[in-house]
């Protein structure tokens, strides 16, 4: 039996509404039933379990905060966070698929798109009939996306798109890609590229030791003719893709807590059962130190995410506040996973437990959506007014 207990040391449940708890619990049940039993096998085989797409749509993971009129779940930001937390309790790669679909594909179409684009794409993305990807990172431009080389030219009745994106989640199977490219004046715009357009290919990236249950690939544009109606008209400049990242980074700040909770819960149960020197290892002070520090850090991260969610609901969260939560909570989860792995001794490296998979996944999470160091520099700039990037 799955004895999973969600740590809630500071009664944070009391801060949630009944609706929040229902949404959280249905996501939790679904992960328990449809994700946890199969995910290790898919991760070992480096394959994304496509059969869970319907379930993700059903728990509201595709566009939780997109209005119902466009197929979204019409929920608030705390609900979005709770759904991400529960999914990442299962696997960071599955949460990645949901993050990309919601915050990096549906969000820009909803926020920067026109009515026709919203009607054409959002309902199909919300139901999972179409899957999306988000192309910002390039081979030569990761932390510095403003340097991107991918570009498009106005050819009268269409745009001609050239360039390449790499490290793109969902790329190998996406039906649509929101792609960021420069026009002839060097201004960044978002274009919706559809599978089947001539010159558009999405080769898969292999040999990953992390996020193995998530499909990662390239987006290659070789003279792709993109219809003019596929340009997102309502925002341009680097701020447009960065606005999407704000939403995804917020979701990750919750998601990482889910991975940490799962590692902590597994280590706690193991330590109470595993005996060495005639005692449960949980009785040894060194093991108690690990567990006590884990629950302390998880609790702080929960409070940070919850407060950020309430600020987001009020439209008051700043990008720098989101960076702080993404950075803190992912690093917290990575440390919890590393300590939990040690607590299981040899068993800690086995796929019979989820910890090593979480630990390896979190190496991607601490890198994507702005690296750990980039988020520190964002905080540094915010508090000093001095730019440490360049
Ligand atoms: P900078 O000059 O600071 O800013 C350019 C323009 O953007 C505005 N801006 C923002 N707007 C909205 N939200 C934000 N968070 C914003 N941050 C900045 C800014 O006001 C400015 O506007 P304007 O009107 O003056 O032009 O830009 P910079 O070139 O100095 O770069 C800043 C930096 C380094 C912080 C930024 O580029 C950055 O965040 N780099 C990290 C790149 C990154 O996070 N890439 C993620 C790729 S997507 C991904 O990883 C998906 S994984 C998903 C999954 O699987 O879950
Ligand atoms: P670089 O930018 O080359 O950074 C290398 C190192 O230098 C880092 O430690 C960085 O912190 C440091 N560094 C860089 N600049 C500075 C500076 N000014 N000061 C101090 N240190 C600095 N991207 C997408 O667009 N869409 C996706 O769906 C997507 N999915 C991903 C999935 C996975 C599994 C992974 C691993 C990545 C994904 N990414 C995606 C790309 C991700 O966003 C980038 O890897 C990330 O932004 C870092 O870029 P980079 O890898 O080019 O590293």
- Quote the ipTM score: 0.98
Q: How far is the CA of 21 from the centre of ligand 1 (A)?
A: 33
Joined tokens for residue 385: 């007014």
Q: Which DSSP symbol is given to 205? A: P
* Residue 199 predicted with pLDDT over 80: yes
Q: Of the bound ligands, which one is closest to the alpha carbon of residue 242? A: 1
371 ligand 2 Cβ < 6 A: yes
145 ligand 2 Cβ < 6 A: no
Q: How far is the CA of 89 from the centre of ligand 2 (A)?
A: 24
* Residue 1 predicted with pLDDT over 50: no
Are the C-beta atoms of 296 and 290 separated by less than 8 Å? no
Are the C-beta atoms of 163 and 193 separated by less than 8 Å? no
Question: Hey, whose CA ends up nearest to atom 29 of ligand 2?
Answer: 168
Calculate mean pLDDT across residues 164-169.
98
Radius of gyration of the chain (CA): 21
338 burial type by CB count under 10 A (0-12 exposed, 13-18 middle, 19+ buried) = middle
Q: How far is the CA of 217 from the centre of ligand 2 (A)?
A: 15
181 ligand 2 Cβ < 6 A: no
Q: What pLDDT is recorded for position 5? A: 76
What is the C-alpha end-to-end distance of the chain, expressed in Å? 53
Q: At what angle do helices 319-343 and 285-313 cross, to 10 degrees?
A: 160
Pairing, β 132-135 against β 176-182? parallel
Average pLDDT, the chain: 97
Whether pTM exceeds 0.90: yes
169 ligand 2 Cβ < 6 A: yes
Q: Could you read off the pLDDT of 268-294 as tens digits, one per residue?
A: 999 999 999 999 999 999 999 999 999
Joined tokens for residue 205: 């990236």
Q: Collect all residues with Cβ–Cβ distance below 8 Å to 284 and sequence separation of at least 6.
A: none
Mutate to test the pocket of ligand 2, among 88, 104, 137, 178 (most ligand atoms within 8 A of CB): 137
Q: Could you read off the pLDDT of 218-227 as tens digits, one per residue?
A: 999 999 999 9
Q: Collect all residues with Cβ–Cβ distance below 8 Å to 191 and sequence separation of at least 6.
A: 152, 159, 161, 178, 179, 180, 181, 226, 230, 231, 232
Q: How far is the CA of 143 from the centre of ligand 1 (A)?
A: 9
Are the C-beta atoms of 6 and 261 separated by less than 8 Å? yes
**Residues 14, 333, 57, 105, CA torsion sign:** positive
Mutate to test the pocket of ligand 1, among 242, 367, 368 (most ligand atoms within 8 A of CB): 242
Q: How far is the CA of 208 from the centre of ligand 2 (A)?
A: 15
Q: What's CA 251's distance to the chain center, in Å?
A: 6
203 ligand 1 Cβ < 6 A: no
Mutate to test the pocket of ligand 2, among 327, 367, 387, 388 (most ligand atoms within 8 A of CB): 367
Mutate to test the pocket of ligand 1, among 100, 245, 376, 380 (most ligand atoms within 8 A of CB): 245
117 ligand 1 Cβ < 6 A: no
Q: Of the bound ligands, which one is closest to the alpha carbon of residue 100? A: 1
Binned at pLDDT 50, 70 and 90, residue 2 comes out as: low
Closest CA relative to residue 85, chosen from 12, 165, 179, 172: 12
Q: How far is the CA of 209 from the centre of ligand 1 (A)?
A: 27
368 ligand 1 Cβ < 6 A: yes
3-class secondary-structure state, position 165: strand
Calculate mean pLDDT across residues 358-370.
98
Q: How far is the CA of 371 from the centre of ligand 2 (A)?
A: 6
Q: Per-residue b/e over 81-95, b at no fewer than 16 CB within 10 Å?
A: bbbbbbbbbbbbbbb
Joined tokens for residue 308: 């950020």
Question: What is the rounded CA–CA span in Å between residue 107 and residue 248?
Answer: 9
Question: What is the rounded CA–CA span in Å between residue 329 and residue 249?
Answer: 11
Question: What is the rounded CA–CA span in Å between residue 181 and residue 161?
Answer: 8
Binned at pLDDT 50, 70 and 90, residue 132 comes out as: very high
Are the C-beta atoms of 127 and 62 separated by less than 8 Å? yes
Runs of H (alpha helix) within the chain: 18-30, 36-45, 53-58, 77-90, 92-99, 107-112, 115-127, 239-273, 285-313, 319-343, 355-365, 372-384
Question: Hey, whose CA ends up nearest to atom 8 of ligand 1?
Answer: 239
Cα dihedral 343→348→353→354 (10° resolution): 90
Question: What is the rounded CA–CA span in Å between residue 331 and residue 257?
Answer: 10
Binned at pLDDT 50, 70 and 90, residue 354 comes out as: very high
47 ligand 2 Cβ < 6 A: no
So which residues are the catalytic ones?
A: 369
Host H or E run for residue 224: strand 216-227
């Amino acid at each position: 039996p799955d004895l999973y207990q969600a740590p809630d040391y500071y009664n944070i449940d009391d801060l949630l509404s009944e609706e929040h708890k229902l949404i959280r619990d249905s996501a939790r049940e679904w992960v328990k039933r449809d994700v946890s039993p199969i995910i290790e096998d898919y991760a070992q085989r480096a394959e994304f379990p496509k059969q869970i797409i319907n379930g993700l749509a059903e728990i509201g993971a595709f566009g939780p905060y997109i209005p119902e009129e466009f197929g979204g779940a019409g929920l608030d930001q705390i609900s979005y966070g709770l759904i991400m937390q529960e999914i990442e309790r299962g696997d960071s790669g599955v949460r990645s698929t949901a993050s990309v679909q919601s915050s990096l594909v549906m969000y820009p179409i909803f926020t920067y798109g026109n009515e026709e684009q919203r009607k054409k794409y959002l309902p199909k993305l919300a139901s999972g009939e179409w899957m999306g990807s988000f192309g910002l990172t390039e081979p030569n431009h990761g932390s510095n996306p403003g340097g991107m080389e991918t570009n498009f030219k106005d050819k009268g009745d269409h745009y001609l798109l050239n360039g390449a994106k790499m490290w793109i989640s969902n790329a190998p199977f996406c039906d649509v890609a929101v792609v960021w490219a420069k026009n002839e004046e060097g201004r960044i715009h978002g274009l919706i590229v559809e599978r089947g357009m001539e010159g558009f290919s999405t080769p898969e990236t292999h040999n990953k030791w992390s996020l193995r249950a998530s499909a990662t690939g390239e987006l290659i544009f070789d003279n792709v003719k993109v219809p003019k109606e596929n340009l997102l008209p309502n925002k341009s400049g680097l701020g447009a893709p960065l606005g999407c990242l704000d939403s995804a980074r917020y979701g990750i700040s919750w998601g990482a807590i889910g991975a940490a909770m799962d590692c902590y819960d597994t280590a706690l149960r193991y330590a109470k059962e595993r005996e060495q020197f005639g005692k449960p290892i949980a009785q040894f002070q060194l093991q108690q130190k690990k567990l006590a520090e884990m629950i302390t850090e998880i609790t702080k991260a929960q409070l940070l995410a919850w407060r950020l969610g309430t600020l987001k609901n009020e439209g008051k969260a700043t990008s720098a506040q989101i960076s702080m939560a993404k950075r803190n909570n992912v690093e917290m989860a990575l440390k919890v996973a590393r300590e939990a792995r040690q607590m299981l001794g040899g068993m800690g490296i086995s796929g019979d437990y989820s910890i090593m998979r979480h630990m390896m996944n979190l190496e991607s999470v601490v890198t994507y959506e702005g690296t750990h160091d980039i988020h520190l520099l964002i905080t540094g700039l915010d508090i000093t007014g001095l730019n440490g990037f360049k």
